[in-house]
Chains A and B, each alone.
Chain A
Amino acid sequence: MRTRFVLAAPAGLVCVAVAGCGSEPFEAGVVKRADSAAVEALVHEARGGPLVVNVWATWCEPCVAETPELVAFHQSKMRGNAVFLSFSIDMPEHVDTRLPRFMEEQGIPFTVHALDGVPPDELVEALGITLEEWDGALPATFVFDAEGRLVSSWYEEVSADDLLGALSGLV
C-alpha cells in the first residue's frame, strides 16, 4: 500500500532543478509501507555502493529538527552514488495522514519507507549490525561502505556535512 501526494511547489521545483535529487524522479514524496522482507530487499539492493540509512518518526523532536539537513544531503551533488534509505517508525494510524502531511510541509523529496511491524531486532539484522550497536533510540543514522560495513553512526541530530564528510572518507 502506498500514499502519494504532490510535493509543496517550491521544494518540488528545487528538487527538479538540483542534480542528484532527480535520481528517484518517480518516487519523490512517496510513503511506502515496508515489512521485514521489503526492508531486507531494500538494503540488499543498495549493497555494492555506499548506503546511508536514517530511522526517524514525526513524533521524534530531534528527528523533525534534522529533516532539513537530510533533505539538503539528499539534494547534494556530493552524495554521489550513495543510496539514501529513510525508515519511518510512525504509528500505523499516522502513516496515511500525519506522515505524508509532514513530508509535504517539509518538502521531503525522497521515498519514506514506513516500517510495518518491523521490530528493531529485524531492522538491525537486515542492516547487518547488532542491538549492541543500536537498540532503537531515535533518531539514528548510519553510513555503510560498499561492502556493507558500518563506518559511521549518529544517535542524535545529524547534519548534511556530517553525512557528506563520512561519505568522502569512503572514496
Chain B
Amino acid sequence: MRLRGLLAVDVAILLVLGIGIAFVFAGMVGAEDARSSAPELGKRPPAFSLEGYDGSGHSLSALKGKPVVLVFSSQKCPYSRAGDVRLAELAPEYQMKGVVFLSIDSHKSTPPGEIKEYALGKNESGKKLPYLILKDEGNTYADAMGAKRTPEIYIVDTEGKLVYHGALDNQKKPEDPEYVNYVGQALDEILAGQPVSKPKTGAYGCSIKRAK
C-alpha cells in the first residue's frame, strides 16, 4: 500500500514535470516561428505604421477595404529605380479605381530627405512619383514581411489578405506578345472579384541593405 502510494506521487511529479517541459518547448517553437515568419498568401500580412517623406503617417489598418500595392524599393538600386519608372506609368490607372500604392524604403543608409528629393523628381522619370515612399527605419517592416530585395512587391486585397508577392512584370519588353504585367493582371482580377491567377513570381533585384 505504502509502495503504491509512493509510485502515485512519483507519477504525479513526472506528469507535472512533463507538462512543464512541454510548455517550455511549445514556447520556444512559438518564438522561433514569430522570428522567421513571412506572411503567407491568403493570410493577413503584418501591420505597419510608417512615416512618409512628407511627414504623413500611414498604417495598413487605415487602408481597410482597399487593394494595396506595397513596393519595397531603394533609390540606391538601379533595378529598383527602373522599376519606379514602370510603376509610375502603371499606378495612376489603378489609383483612379481605388487602389493604393505605397513604396517602402528599408535601405539602411537612405535618409528621408534623400527619399523626398528622389520622389519629387530626382528620379529617372524626372517627375514626382505618383505614390508616397515610406521610410522603414531599422528595416523592421522588411523583416516582418520577409522582404529580401528591391523591387519586391506585395498586394493586399480588399479583405486585407495577401494575394500577390513578386515582380512587377515578367521582364519581357512591353511590345513582346508574351509580356505580362503581373501587378496589373492581379489588380484587374482583384477589382473583378476574381482570385489572383498568378499569386507568386520571382523578381530580380538588389538585396535590401539592412541596419541589423
Contacts and interface: CB of A to CB of B under 8 A. Distances in A.
Given A131-B202, A135-B202, A136-B204, A120 B173 contact: no
A158 to B, nearest CB: 14
B207 A120 contact: no
A66 B15 CA distance: 57
B178 A117 contact: yes
Would you call the interface of chain A mostly helix, strand, loop, or mixed?
Answer: loop
B76 to A, nearest CB: 9
Contact of B204 (A62, A89, A131): A89
Interface stretch (B103-111, B112-120, B164-172): B164-172
20 contacts: A57-B204, A59-B77, A59-B79, A89-B79, A89-B204, A91-B79, A119-B201, A119-B204, A120-B202, A121-B170, A121-B201, A131-B200, A135-B166, A136-B149, A136-B202, A137-B206, A137-B207, A138-B204, A138-B207, A156-B207
A136 B167 contact: yes
Would you call the interface of chain B mostly helix, strand, loop, or mixed?
Answer: loop
Interface in A99-132: 117-121, 123-124, 131
A155 B207 contact: yes
A14 interface: no
A135 B148 contact: yes
A124 B79 CA distance: 19
Contacts of B82: 91
A138 B205 contact: yes
Interface in B123-153: 148-149
Contacts of A124: 202
A117 B172 contact: yes
Interface of A: 57, 59-62, 89, 91-92, 117-121, 123-124, 131, 134-138, 155-156
Interface of B: 77-79, 82, 148-149, 166-167, 170-173, 176, 178, 200-207
Instruction: Count chain B CB atoms within 10 A of each CB in A57, A124, A137, A156 and give the residue with the most.
Output: A137
Given A120-B203, A121-B170, A156-B207, 11 more contacts: A57-B79, A59-B77, A60-B206, A89-B79, A92-B173, A118-B171, A119-B172, A135-B148, A136-B202, A138-B206, A155-B207
A156 B207 CA distance: 9
A43 B206 CA distance: 24
Contact of B203 (A57, A62, A135): A135
B39 to A, nearest CB: 15
B181 to A, nearest CB: 12
A59 B204 contact: no
Nearest to B81: A59
A138 B79 CA distance: 11
Nearest to B172: A117
Nearest to A137: B149
B204 A120 contact: yes
Contacts of A92: 173
Nearest to B178: A117
A118 B178 CA distance: 11
Nearest to A121: B202
Nearest to B180: A119
A60 B206 CA distance: 7
A117 to B, nearest CB: 4
Instruction: Count chain A CB atoms within 10 A of each CB in B149, B202, B207 and give the residue with the most.
Output: B202
Nearest to B182: A119
Given A124-B202, A136-B149, A138-B204, A119 B167 contact: yes
